[in-house]
Structure 1
Amino acid sequence: MIKEPLLFNRDISWLSFNERVLLEAGNTEVPLFERIKFLSIYSSNLDEFYRVRMPALQKSDYDNGHNCYEQAATVINKQQQEFGKILSKSIIPELEKQGYHFCYKEDIPTEIIPYITSYFYSQVAGFLHPVHMLDNTVFFPENNRLYLVVIIRKDLEEHTYMVNIPSNHLNRFIKITQSGKSYIVFLEDIIRHNIKILFPDADSICSYNIKVTRDAELDVLDSDDEDLTDRFEKQLKKRDYGSATRFLYEPGLDAKHLQNIINALSLKKASLVQGGRYHNMKDLASLPIRDPALSYPDWPAIQDLNGFDHSETLFEAVSKRDLMVHAPYQTYDTILRFFNEAAINNDVEEIYTTLYRVASDSKIVHALISAARVGKKVTVLVELKARFDEENNILWAKRMKLAGVKIVYSVNSLKVHAKLALVKRKNTDLPYLGLMATGNLNESTARFYTDHILLTANQPMLAEAEKLFGFLSKKKKPEKTDAINFQHLLVAQFNLLTKFTELIDREIENARNGLSSGITIKLNNIEEEVLISKLYEASNAGVKVNLIARSICRLVPGIPGQSENITVKRIVDRYLEHGRVFIFHNEGNHEVFMGSSDWMNRNIYRRIEVCFPIYDNDLKNELMSIISLQWNDTQKAVLIDKDLKNVPLVKKAKGIRSQEGIYQYLSEVVKNTTQELTQAST
């Protein structure tokens, strides 16, 4: 009987990634305010986990004999304790040394009470809406909003009130400077300190912070475009009124009052979590601390690009050779320029692009609108189902449509996650120019997501992109009869799984024949079992597999007879690692691919994803050098071991911090290229 391969649980693996974020918050070598930001990121990630994954876990079966929901809750509870320890025992004392007194779990200091009282009357009181919780009171706590449960005694009777904490209208943290010292106070503590003003006749008052997190899932059936956007907008209005997935409450709330609140707020199916005194700690990123010495040193985006000397247009440069932008190390202006040149170039007749998460004031969309207004044919595939970006995507889609842009929405059961843009020109031997990326075409997230963007005039590859756009415009799911002969692109639902399997099989065959072999893959998530099993097979054949997986990783490394030749690393640093790169040794003639696709079930089977080869040898070597720096990182990389632990690497005296190394490497590449171009011109 063949033994089933070992796999990590998907959600516990993701929680391991969030633990890695927490480790960075606890790292005293990280600048203080950046550590606070990592606490904020951890908290924000966890909120989304409760909105998206916990509802699914509540309905799931056991995994390897474990109740997944209970297992996740146990892991989260342990991490939350570590969160509180890092904040109270490490970060707050460091803030004190820097002259910031963070009032955390303590009474308001006497010296600032007059200011706090004045602030309450002038700024806060008008936003408060106490609700008396009687038997017939209907009160619905909004998703992830903060509330106070206030229990008062008056004339031997007990009354319960719900009081909103208006952090959606006011700053969560208030800074008061007295005698050269800065005090930082939570908004809810200002309300609690002045709570007797709201209930002047109370004999005694107790108050407790609570928060309710709600299911974020949308349920929208397919329909025509106009009706689809209307349905999405109606569902979005209901999202914050979904079923409760978590009820977070402050310690000290006794069992009787806790049960009364659960009953009154219809929270019986929610996960009950006794948290700390404060919730929504994602707000820590808004602490009023603006000291550059407490943050990362500035890394200005590199303005020049290897192979583009600005003496010609970007289109002219791309027509001569492939270019690559590595965001955020290099300026994203090159990508904006691609769309701007497309909008104003008289030879451009058609523009096609996909938009998954649109920037709030997207310059790319403005360029597309301008192109349509001057008569160019512009087709945009807008993904409405990009979670938590639906409203913004709908807004921009409507604006583009009014300007004459043809808007195509994907069918409900199939997301278009590919990152593509295609320009079609007249009066040239190279009618196609294109852009293919590992991340969203979004200038906002490009400031802190590491991604790679290829600009190319490879005509056969871009002709395939045009065929894909044509298919997607039909708005239907791919079927076996929808065969497109992709020779260059790897497209999920068509040939992506088959092609990756063939590439792994070739490395297996080479290893078995005594030839050199190897696989290096960097992605965000790896879950899909067919591809994981192929990597296990490669390991058993002697292929060395290097895997950099930022978050979810179901593959278990280092298991004899399964994965002893597989090493998995994870990198967390100032930028969010987001690029997907696939390198196959091929007896030393490396084949390198980039693209939008992680190895998740959703990416392989339920989305349109596009990966693509890097043909230019200089760019291939450049990309491989970047991945090599990441693989050899000893500062911000950790090993994921067979027990799913984040194991720090042994730091060397002059260890590598890959993000810093990449910035320096690309700066040097551009410097050398500029010198070569200067010498050639003279």
Structure 2
Amino acid sequence: MAQFRYFNRDISWLTFNGRVLQEAANEVVPLMERIRFLSIYSSNLDEFYRVRMPYLKKKSIQDQDEDAYSKAGEIIDRQQNAFGQILRESVIPELANLGVNFCYKDGVPGSILGAVNQYFFAQVAGFLQPVFLTKNAPFFPENNQLYLVAILRFPPDEEHVALVNIPTGNLNRFLKITRDKQDHIVFLEDIIKHNLKSLFPEAIEIQSFNIKITRDAELDMMDEDGDDVAEKFEKQLNKRELGYATRLLYEPGLPLRHLQNIIVSLDLKSASVVQGGRYHNLKDLASLPVSPPAQTYPAWPPATAGANVNENTSLFDTITSEDLMVHAPYQSYDTILRFFNEAAINPLVEEVYTTMYRVAHDSKIAFALISAAKNGKKVTVLVELKARFDEANNIRWAKKMKSAGVKIVHSVNALKVHAKLALVKRKHAAAPYLGLLATGNLNEGTAKFYTDHILLSAHQPMLAEAETLFRFLSKKKKPDSSDLIAFQHLLVAQFNLLGKFLQLLDREIANVRNGLPAGITIKLNNLEEEVLINKLYEASNAGVKINLIVRSICRIVPGVAGQSENITVKRIVDRFLEHGRIFIFHNNGQPEVFMGSADWMNRNIYRRIEVCFPIYNPKLKERLTEIIELQWQDNVQAVFIDSELNNVAIAKSQPLIRSQEAIYRLLSQETADLKTI
């Protein structure tokens, strides 16, 4: 692959999911966490088939990139084989050593058959709705729903095929039964298989196989606007599960003639037909009913953020005196909740603005915004409708906030507001603006396992720019050449973000060419956009040392002579999902540090509203740089991405540094030190 200037974005993402699978195989990782990584891998792959495989197949049909589609299929096949091997040869035997018989290969053991049958008739049978498969059968298989294909032979020698739903939306996927001090865990589909004779009593022979159909998740976006845009969008959401089929996954052994019959009868001719394992939807492994404490990660109670935050001091007063940063999930998210709660009740607060991209299911932030509105404050919330797979929840909260008096603003079609901002405006205050600027969503749920960084600041010029941006976005129009907002502090996509990053990169290039020290360290979730990649190549060729930490999509090809020999890329996968975006420019020994919401992807640079921002406080800048340096030194959970797009293990040397653990210890020690002052 090294002869290419850019890696394929989808193939690079698959190598990230392969890295997740490596953690499932890592015997140093506690057993239940390894099972969780198997679940994450499976969930990721389902989304890939819903979102990216339709695109790759379309490109393949158009003869634009046939190789990427076939290559993706080959990689997925290898990974799926590895998945099954990890489960069969490692995870299941280790469960057995703990006294747990996970009935993965052999179905229902005879010793618990009576209890299983009792459960079937008492709990399961009423949810089953078998449908005989005929050419004109009025049946539409649901997205990612599990079905049993029952091949039935009736006397004298008639053969029929029926589909039986597996009601995982109504019942737990797994049933645990304890006998003689041993736990047996069986799949819901195996319980149904053992009782198919009760569904088809006249059949003299029954064979059964599991299938699953995945459907395209793309929505037909509207160009419409107005007060009812959310209702119109909600109608489109209801059509998502009716999208065309992208994959038919079937159990080995399903006879070819019946497979073809299924494809024709269910109109699956355009779907990828993939032979999987016996069981599908193994993202459900996350709910496996076994949790021995010794087989999970040790608890890391979140530390307190900030030296002066306590129950006797207003958080607003603390922020007014000095910037504060919260490093989630290592530090408590309560500080962020407190920001919104104080805004809701503080009598000096007149206005509250915030963006909400993925709203927590039971959002305390949204409740605080509702209270603020009911307490007479002017509250404006930009709720993003097009946050994929969170649209329905976002619409639900938007309606609830709107009914309480919150002004709800939805972004216009084809433009997402992905920025992570909140702004409080106070009357009669020396510092009227207080702000929150973050790398991740204002979501207390994901804050428990996403690593993000949240700046709380009273920097008045920067926050005045945030107010200008909120007022512009409230107009619900796309930026164009007439929108000449002169941002001096904020880096805003569609305005100055791309140009500013290019200037910062050019400065490092100029410095190294003038014999001055130079360097670039960047941490991203995804790196795709070619203008910025080309500038990084230019910097590498000029002699600038470039360190990149890229979690998933990475199109830059490192370590290629004459192109990128000064570029090194690492990827970190551990107990928390790496999510922060951080940019450090050496600047001849006077480092400039930025954080923000923007990955370097086409969509973030050209089709979204993103906000990055400088870190001015010297102590916060130093601490953030220290955290990134620990991540760069990671030789336990980090891997190199090489010029062939492989995840390459880093040679273990002393000291062993697992960056997430080191960061947790660093921030916990900081809290302990502050308590002694």
Alignment of 1:491-502 (within 5 A): 491-502=492-503
How far does the alpha carbon of each residue in 1:473-495 deviate from its partner, in whole angstroms, 9 at most, with x for none?
Answer: 11011001101100000000000
CA distance in 2, matches of 1:163, 1:306: 60
Q: Check the 8 A contact 2:107/2:186 in 1, yes or no.
A: no
Q: Check the 8 A contact 1:5/1:533 in 2, yes or no.
A: no
The CA deviation at 1:288 is 0.2
Counting matched residue pairs gives: 674
CA distance in 1, matches of 2:115, 2:653: 51
Does 1:148 pair with 2:148?
A: yes
Does 1:29 pair with 2:28?
A: yes
Alignment of 1:218-617 (within 5 A): 218-617=219-618
The CA deviation at 1:674 is 3.4
Q: Secondary structure at the match of 1:67?
A: helix
The CA deviation at 1:303 is 2.7
CA distance in 2, matches of 1:74, 1:442: 37
The CA deviation at 1:228 is 1.2
CA distance in 1, matches of 2:174, 2:301: 30
Q: Secondary structure at the match of 2:227?
A: helix
CA distance in 2, matches of 1:303, 1:430: 25
CA distance in 1, matches of 2:163, 2:206: 13
Q: RMSD over aligned Cα, in angstroms? A: 1.3
CA distance in 2, matches of 1:511, 1:310: 49
Q: Check the 8 A contact 2:491/2:500 in 1, yes or no.
A: yes
CA distance in 2, matches of 1:256, 1:67: 29
Relative to structure 1, the CA distance from residue 306 to residue 563 in structure 2 (aligned partners, 3 Å threshold; closer, same or farther) is: farther
Q: Secondary structure at the match of 1:60?
A: helix
1:222 is aligned with what amino acid?
A: D
CA distance in 1, matches of 2:125, 2:402: 44
Relative to structure 1, the CA distance from residue 597 to residue 313 in structure 2 (aligned partners, 3 Å threshold; closer, same or farther) is: same
2:117 aligns with: 117
The CA deviation at 1:5 is 6.2
TM-score, normalising length: structure 1: 0.97
Q: Secondary structure at the match of 2:163?
A: strand
Q: Secondary structure at the match of 2:430?
A: coil
Alignment of 1:103-142 (within 5 A): 103-142=103-142
Q: Secondary structure at the match of 1:245?
A: strand
The CA deviation at 1:304 is 4.4
CA distance in 2, matches of 1:520, 1:167: 46
CA distance in 1, matches of 2:542, 2:548: 17
CA distance in 2, matches of 1:241, 1:227: 23
The CA deviation at 1:517 is 0.6
Q: Check the 8 A contact 1:222/1:228 in 2, yes or no.
A: no
The CA deviation at 1:239 is 0.8
The CA deviation at 1:305 is 2.3
1:54 aligns with: 53
2:551 is aligned with what amino acid?
A: R
Q: Please list every run of 5 or more consecutive structure 2 residues that lacks an aligned counterpart in the other structure.
A: none
Q: Check the 8 A contact 2:350/2:427 in 1, yes or no.
A: yes
- Percentage of matched positions with identical amino acids: 67
Q: Check the 8 A contact 1:145/1:211 in 2, yes or no.
A: yes
The CA deviation at 1:427 is 0.8
2:176 aligns with: 175
The CA deviation at 1:176 is 0.7
Q: Check the 8 A contact 1:305/1:330 in 2, yes or no.
A: no
Larger deviation, residues 39-48 vs 193-202 = 193-202
1:45 aligns with: 44
CA distance in 2, matches of 1:303, 1:286: 31
The CA deviation at 1:307 is 4.2
CA distance in 2, matches of 1:371, 1:117: 54
How far does the alpha carbon of each residue in 1:299-346 deviate from its partner, in whole angstroms, 9 at most, with x for none?
Answer: 111134234344310000000000000000000000000000001011
The CA deviation at 1:65 is 6.7
Q: Check the 8 A contact 2:304/2:671 in 1, yes or no.
A: no
How far does the alpha carbon of each residue in 1:407-441 deviate from its partner, in whole angstroms, 9 at most, with x for none?
Answer: 11000110000000000001111100000000000
CA distance in 1, matches of 2:64, 2:350: 57
2:411 is aligned with what amino acid?
A: S
The CA deviation at 1:375 is 1.0
The CA deviation at 1:224 is 2.9
How far does the alpha carbon of each residue in 1:380-424 deviate from its partner, in whole angstroms, 9 at most, with x for none?
Answer: 111000001111111111111111111110001100000000000
CA distance in 2, matches of 1:34, 1:5: 37
The CA deviation at 1:223 is 2.3
Q: Secondary structure at the match of 2:228?
A: helix
Relative to structure 1, the CA distance from residue 600 to residue 560 in structure 2 (aligned partners, 3 Å threshold; closer, same or farther) is: same
Q: Check the 8 A contact 1:437/1:594 in 2, yes or no.
A: yes
Q: Please list every run of 5 or more consecutive structure 1 residues that lacks an aligned counterpart in the other structure.
A: none
Q: Check the 8 A contact 2:225/2:412 in 1, yes or no.
A: no
The CA deviation at 1:249 is 0.5
Q: Check the 8 A contact 1:504/1:534 in 2, yes or no.
A: yes
How far does the alpha carbon of each residue in 1:237-296 deviate from its partner, in whole angstroms, 9 at most, with x for none?
Answer: 111111000000011112111100000100000011000000000000000012111100
Larger deviation, residues 58-67 vs 590-599 = 58-67
1:454 is aligned with what amino acid?
A: L
Relative to structure 1, the CA distance from residue 511 to residue 63 in structure 2 (aligned partners, 3 Å threshold; closer, same or farther) is: farther
CA distance in 1, matches of 2:305, 2:455: 15
2:407 is aligned with what amino acid?
A: K
1:331 is aligned with what amino acid?
A: S
Q: Check the 8 A contact 1:9/1:63 in 2, yes or no.
A: no
CA distance in 2, matches of 1:347, 1:13: 50
1:234 is aligned with what amino acid?
A: K
The CA deviation at 1:526 is 0.3
Q: Secondary structure at the match of 2:419?
A: coil
CA distance in 1, matches of 2:533, 2:134: 56
1:197 aligns with: 198
Q: Check the 8 A contact 1:350/1:423 in 2, yes or no.
A: yes
CA distance in 2, matches of 1:297, 1:135: 55
Q: Secondary structure at the match of 1:413?
A: coil
1:217 aligns with: 218
Q: Check the 8 A contact 1:154/1:204 in 2, yes or no.
A: yes
CA distance in 1, matches of 2:641, 2:4: 17
Q: Secondary structure at the match of 1:359?
A: coil
CA distance in 2, matches of 1:221, 1:117: 50
Q: Check the 8 A contact 1:571/1:638 in 2, yes or no.
A: yes
CA distance in 2, matches of 1:180, 1:441: 45
CA distance in 1, matches of 2:655, 2:561: 33
1:19 aligns with: 18
Q: Secondary structure at the match of 1:560?
A: coil
The CA deviation at 1:63 is 9.2
1:588 is aligned with what amino acid?
A: G
CA distance in 1, matches of 2:246, 2:109: 37
Alignment of 1:67-78 (within 5 A): 67-78=67-78
How far does the alpha carbon of each residue in 1:644-678 deviate from its partner, in whole angstroms, 9 at most, with x for none?
Answer: 11011112254001000000000112222333xx3
CA distance in 2, matches of 1:543, 1:289: 51
How far does the alpha carbon of each residue in 1:72-128 deviate from its partner, in whole angstroms, 9 at most, with x for none?
Answer: 111111100000000001100110001111111214211111111111111111111
CA distance in 2, matches of 1:4, 1:75: 20
How far does the alpha carbon of each residue in 1:349-396 deviate from its partner, in whole angstroms, 9 at most, with x for none?
Answer: 000000000001111011111111111100011100000111111111
CA distance in 2, matches of 1:244, 1:450: 35
